[in-house]
Structure 1
Amino acid sequence: MTTERTAPRVTRRRVRTRANLLDAAFAVFAAKGFGRVSIEEVCEAAGYSRGAFYSNFASLDELFFALYRQRADLIAEQVAGALALDGPDLDVPAAVDRVTEVLLLDLDWLLVKTDFLVHAARDPQVADSLLEHRARLRGAIADRLRRARGRAELPAVLGDVDGAARAVVAAYDGVTAQLLLDKDVEGARVWLGRLLTALLSDGSGNPQRAH
């Protein structure tokens, strides 16, 4: 008689511990900077031991990737919801308005993400992992644009939906970099809206049509 091996059961307590560690780490990273925080500081902020940390994460890098995945997934969901349009036509200005209204523009997150980007730039292995996560976000955006492909043609300069997705992410990165300096969230939404409208249309807000 053979006995099947089962994966360790994930208890509610463990799920809660992991969530509390992520929340505490986010607050500490935002306050002090990713590269200036130790595992002990994260544990102290969360009220757990090092054992609790290592039962959930192998390193601070791994913990950060869990944070990044949470927010990347949230952004992808926000974009997907904003572009989930009904009707025969793609209303670019209306879709962009919805995207910029709900898109995550959190200053603490931008600080943490920027710190980690600098860290990743100096470590090829970490950089590869971060690039993989960013590619997942671009893929989600490209998928939504691809579904709207039959309703409107993207500007030729973007090439295809993958190029358009890269441009959307680049616009978001550029606007949020400025936001880190001037802290003008509403201004960032306005500029992001203008950039996305220009990228996804002929510049006037009217989607280009195939001839």
Structure 2
Amino acid sequence: MNTNRATGAPEGGVRETARRAKTRERLLDAAFRQFCEHGINGTSIEAITDDAGFTRGAFYSNFGSKEELFFALAERENRLRLESVRERFDDMVAMLGRTGRKPDPELIEEVLADILAAQPENRPWCLLNSEFRLLAMRDPQVAPLFLESSHAFQRELASMVHAALDSAGLRILIDPLHLTRLLVDQFESAMQDAILSGVEDTERAARDTVMRTLPPLVHSLTEIRSTDQR
């Protein structure tokens, strides 16, 4: 039997795992397109598999339901957003700590603008996540899974926010998770308003809205750590 030299696993198993991962990604990509165009309830499993070029069997070998697929899609989208923030982490810390004192709202605005500019397109994901949130609110079986997915993203983002502020010598006056939820809720609300208003550039409209509120909010909820706290 041929084996993979790096892992010692059978080469056929490695190829099968890679093929399965590729199939899964194509199904997720197809679901994203179909959900954006027709909505979650308006999209059938057949529409997803036809778009991806697979059969229903390929779908059910990877996902148990459309809801399970959506949670996999949410995990992927959240991971992309967290990775974009993580890539900017060192720059974020450097920007916040460059004055040696509590950063003013203008500097915080600069940091937030840098982070938001690196994010993947938010409009389609806002549409899908808002729709799925409503579905979860109506379905008690989906609700706890939706909450855990949302809270897992917020917890990881909160950890990154806390680490960045701490590295810059700053302390958050409230629980970092509560601050993060405020930031996320503000941005989601701004994106929803931008979509509802029908503006052409929803990303820019949402950023303009949050920049009027988030920098002074973050400024008011942070302070320089005292020497005995360092």
Q: How big is each residue's C-alpha offset from its partner over 1:52-75, in whole Å with a ceiling of 9 and x where there is no partner? A: 101110100011111111111112
Aligned-partner residue type, residue 168 of structure 1: L
1:142-190 Cα deviation digits (max 9, x unpaired): 1122212362233x4xx22121111111112111111221343212112
Matched residue, 1:101: 117
Cα shift at 1:87: 7.2
Q: 33, 42, 60: which one pairs with 1:36?
A: 42
Equivalent residue, structure 1, for 2:204: 186
Runs of 5+ consecutive residues of structure 1 not aligned to the other structure: 1-5
TM-score (norm 2): 0.77
Decide whether aligned partners of structure 1 residues 102 and 195 sit closer, same or farther in structure 2, where only a CA change above 3 A counts.
farther
2:58 corresponds in structure 1 to 52
| Corresponding residue of 2:187 | 172
User: Contact 1:82–1:95 (CA<8 Å) still a contact in 2?
Assistant: no
Counterparts of 1:209 and 1:160 in 2: how far apart (Å)?
A: 16
- In the TM superposition, residue 210 of structure 1 has moved relative to its aligned partner by 5.0
| Aligned residues of 1:30 and 1:111 also touching (Cα < 8 A) | yes
Structure 2, unaligned runs of 5 or more = 1-8, 98-102
**CA separation in 1, counterparts of 2:73 and 2:148?**
14
Letter in 2 for 1:46: A
Between the aligned partners of 2:108 and 2:159, the Cα distance in structure 1 is 16
Look up the equivalent residue of 1:72 and give its one-letter code: N
Report the alpha carbon displacement of residue 112 of structure 1 after superposing the two structures with TM: 1.6
Map 1:1-211 onto structure 2 (within 5 A).
9=13, 10-84=16-90, 85-86=93-94, 89=97, 91-147=107-163, 148-149=165-166, 151-154=169-172, 156=173, 159-181=174-196, 182-183=198-199, 184-202=202-220, 208-210=223-225
For 1:125, the aligned partner's letter is: Q
Task: Tell me by how many angstroms 1:120 deviates.
Answer: 0.8
Match of 1:3 in 2: none
Kept in 1, the 8 Å contact 2:108–2:219? The answer is yes
Amino acid at match of 2:183: V
Greater Cα shift, 38-47 or 84-93 = 84-93
Offset of residue 111 of structure 1 = 1.8
Per the alignment, residue 4 of structure 2 pairs with none
* Structure 1 contact 24–45 (Cα < 8 Å) conserved: yes
In the alignment, the residues of structure 2 paired with residue 191 and residue 73 of structure 1 have an alpha-carbon distance, to the nearest angstrom, of: 25
Residue pair 2:34, 2:43 contacting (<8 A) in 1 also: yes
Stretches of 4+ moved more than 6 A in 1?
none
Give the distance between the partners of 2:73 and 2:181, measured in 1 at CA: 22
Q: CA deviation at 1:102?
A: 1.7
